[in-house]
Structure 1
Amino acid sequence: MTADKLTNRDVDEAPAVGGERAQWLAALAKHRQFLRFTTRDLTDEQAGLRTTVSELCLGGLIKHVAEAERSWGDFILGGPAAMPDYTALTEADWARRADSFRMLPGETLAGVLDDYAEVARRTDELVTTVPDLDATWPLPKAPWTEPGAQWSVRQVLMHIISETAQHSGHADIIRESLDGAKSMS
């Protein structure tokens, strides 16, 4: 899927559910669309360019959001064992993690967008099928996590939406710095 071909069809393909779950799906779809839209009409090279003092690029942001959403989906299914112990990561692990914010040689914008679409489909399926939105797991060990904290599926979904929205804003700034195009205004 390319960002310049996004339509309401992307939202309409979500499984039919009602109530709170429909609201989660709608919020996810809205913020994903904003993020993908920032890459419309770009080449692979442009998607990999840094346009600010930040290390971030548009393709890397989408890669990162896809990886984060994938990891949190794993967490919904398997709890903290499905995620790394961030307090035990080595310097090499952190360097590999930093690569999720960059377009690496051989990666394409189309490939990054396709991966993100697949992750989104999986998350949408979880939203519609997980038996209990109140089910909780202890959070994985991380320097930014309060020891003993737990999140419900609902809190994880809120985090995925928040992270996607935050990075959509980052992407909008990067895109405007790249060629003046704006996504959210």
Structure 2
Amino acid sequence: MTTTTNSPGTTPTTGSTGPAREVEDLLRGLEVQRQFLRFTVRGLTDEQAARRTTVSELCLGGLIKHVSGCEAGWIGFITEGPRAVAGDDGDSWAGAFRMEPGEHLADLLDAYEAVARRTEQVVRALPDLDAEHELPPAPWFEPGARWTVRQVLLHVLAETAQHSGHADVLRESLDGQKTMG
């Protein structure tokens, strides 16, 4: 049995090596980024979470909603193939970055938690990370390109980390609070 140290605030890795370790490392890395994002919105009212604090259209609640939907879609890609992430119209895409009237931050966070649990269930049940699907047609994907589960998880992790950084800027603009620093 081996033990390694991880980022501050995370649990040391104890256990196997190889594919099972890779799965755990990827899921742990994703959970660390989710924690940063959730920490950034701590203590906010719905009104604060819906407020635009920069010249962009982004708001904190909208970012939670977006990463939740993005992760759910890509996990759907793993289980169902390209139709799960096939493009939709621009208005619904833009709406995924906003908190609409009647939406509540607590509900968005609950939905995000459910997506996270689903991700962990799906990924842990897979025999390996090499299963792949062809990507749907989109201007940003090379025609005929395929992604493995591993590539999907790395994409979701990168997307979550990027939006966690956006959230930190939005929160600092809102009330001076910082996730890190």
Q: Conserved in 2, the CA contact under 8 Å of 1:24 and 1:127?
A: no
Query: Deviation of residue 62 (structure 1)?
Result: 0.5
Q: 1:51 aligns with which of 53, 63, 79?
A: 53
How many Å separate the matches in 2 of 1:113 and 1:45? Answer: 15
Structure 1 unmatched ranges of 5 or more: 1-7
How many Å separate the matches in 2 of 1:180 and 1:19? Answer: 38
Paired position in structure 1 for 2:80: 78
Structure 1 SS opposite 2:94: helix
**Which TM-score applies when normalising by structure 1?**
0.86
Q: Flag the structure with more relative contact order, 1 or 2, with Cα contacts below 8 A and sequence separation at least 6.
A: 1
Paired position in structure 2 for 1:133: 129
Q: Conserved in 2, the CA contact under 8 Å of 1:31 and 1:161?
A: yes
Give the superposed CA RMSD.
1.7
Give matches, 1:1-150, under 5 Å: 18-84=20-86, 86=87, 89=88, 93-150=89-146
How many Å separate the matches in 1 of 2:57 and 2:27? Answer: 30
Query: Deviation of residue 95 (structure 1)?
Result: 0.5
User: Identity, % of aligned pairs?
Assistant: 59
Q: 1:158 aligns with which of 151, 154, 158?
A: 154
How many Å separate the matches in 2 of 1:157 and 1:21? Answer: 9
Structure 2 SS opposite 1:68: helix
Query: Deviation of residue 97 (structure 1)?
Result: 1.5
How many Å separate the matches in 2 of 1:123 and 1:152? Answer: 15
Structure 2 unmatched ranges of 5 or more: 1-8
- Further displaced range: 110-119 or 93-102: 93-102
How many Å separate the matches in 2 of 1:141 and 1:127? Answer: 24
Query: Deviation of residue 44 (structure 1)?
Result: 0.3
Amino acid at match of 1:32: R
Query: Deviation of residue 82 (structure 1)?
Result: 2.3
Query: Deviation of residue 132 (structure 1)?
Result: 2.2
Paired position in structure 2 for 1:181: 177
**Bigger fraction of residues in helix:** 1
**Which TM-score applies when normalising by structure 2?**
0.88
Structure 2 SS opposite 1:151: strand
Aligned length in residues: 167
